[in-house]
Structure 1
Amino acid sequence: MELKTKRLTDPTHVSPTLVLKSDDRRDLNTIKALASEPRVRILSELAEGLHSVGDLSRSLGLPLSTVSQHVKKLESCGLVHIEEKPGERGLQRICQRVYDRIVIDMPTHSEPSHEHPIWEFSWPVGAYSDASVTPTCGLTSEIGLIGLTDDPSSFYEPNHPSAQLIWFKSGYLEYRIPNRLPHSVRPRNLWLTMEICSEAPMYHPDWPSDITLWINDVELGSWTSPADFGDQRGLLNPSWWEDRNTQHGLLKGWRVTERGSFIDGIRLSDVTCDDLQLMKNRFISVRIGVKDDARHVGGINLFGQKFGNYEQDIVLRVEYI
């Protein structure tokens, strides 16, 4: 169980989020507790503020004993905080919801096996070394826009490394990261994860885009993003970011092995880890983009750790022997 923000009992806290991992036995108990319509209704009622167990019984039309059992289960999982306060007829049990959002992280095929040593490197989305993009395009940091919207020259502003969200219709961003792999080793597996989606004007639920990834100038293949997501507000977006804009992406994981290249377990190409020649240079080049001649030229949004739904930058992992 991973807590992304402070608890509700902290008066400085806003909009707490609970992240549950489906492969954690303790978190599974919480997930099971949510598999109940009355408990979900109780949590919805508590969105309006504090309620006694008696209040919940009357508003939900359920027996007091039934509501008490459900509240007790929610309290045992840490989803509800209960305090006893004096009432007209003795002590009242006052209920308070602890979390505003609950996210369930599902395991993916992209996770390292940890059978061999793993080198990991994380870098901000704004820390690119080269850019060639077409409008619609733009960059924003956590506090505001960088340069001008739909002006590719803004991608060369001196503060572009502070970008937390980047978007463009076609072209690419290239990152050159320092190669810190030990000398005389053989890379065996590579993983790369980032939060991305298509780029439409504002946002669009049906906006395919063929997003391509290259490592050391070797094309791994393309993944078709289904949409530019704006249906629900991104969990990490700053308050000034308007609801009419793109809100979040999908956390995608590329993997290059001795058998080929994959995205979320789906085969992309026959490119292997040996083909990347990771030990050739003192840097590893990672290029992400949309080809001008792609079937779906639907752009790209790339999210940093302060935007979207996933609190991470671009992450590269290499397993070696």
Structure 2
Amino acid sequence: MSTHRGYSKRVLVTGGAGFLGSHLCERLIEQGCEVLCVDNYFTGARSNLLKLHNHPRFELVRHDVTFPLYVEVDEIYNLACPASPVHYQHDPVQTTKTSVIGAINMLGLAKRVGAPILQASTSEIYGDPTIHPQPEEYWGNVNTIGPRSCYDEGKRCAETLFFDYNRQHKLKIKVIRIFNTYGPRMHPNDGRVVSNFIVQALKGEPITVFGEGNQTRSFCYVDDLVDGMVKFMATAPDVTGPINLGNPGEFTILELAEQVIRLTGSSSKIVHKPLPKDDPKQRQPDIAKAKALLDWEPTIPLEEGLRRTIAYFADSLK
């Protein structure tokens, strides 16, 4: 893969030491790109990138995207932002700044160097949806002043900025809305349901289900999601999105807990706790656009993905 300048395409990945970012960096290196990974290590870790540390086409820089970045690149994937409630609620003001000021800085960089830029947005922009499943045309049902608002509204504002840069400056943008994604390198203490359940089951601790466990989620394995991101970046410049990326297979939280117990062979028992404020009752992507425009849909079933993720956590908890 080479550009008109006769060398490997140089790709910037912000938040590249995180769960999703590290998998994306590996995929881009496999495709022959030069990768510049920037991360401030708030939730990311250098250990997520061990496979790439000595690779000649990989560069890792400690940087916070709320400050400008002056580099020369051919493409940008903007993934920088804590994505789990435990982390984004720890410093909600910084979370909003990362989404909004980070987007402004990366869009400014993309405009200066003429690079297409992909924004990792989120299904959280739909809030607690009143439409099911959620198509991209749905505007959402979001609380602007709740404990999750720093993330939800920050990402919504970032989408606004991306489309305004596209309209005002003719910038080549891509916006994806990521639904629940899981896999190796998830942070063990990020409060997300898959990592929570697996870690609790492996330790033989009670498995915490909020409410009755009837709320539903759709779980996409990380390899499938990275496939979608890379395919989207390679589509025609006029395909801007937003496009939902996620697995439309819908499971209740209780079903997930029972499956994790079965796959780990754990003796853990399920305990119920009150539902957190503004926790969505249903979350399922409508991926018709991704199928039509990207020829993409997930291929890894939940049980297979859970087996791989359990194996990772079993090894990392040793």
- Normalised TM-score (structure 2): 0.25
Give the helix-richer structure, 1 or 2: 2
Q: Which has the higher contact order (CA 8 A, sep 6+)?
A: 1
Structure number, greater radius of gyration: 1
Give the strand-richer structure, 1 or 2: 1
- Normalised TM-score (structure 1): 0.25
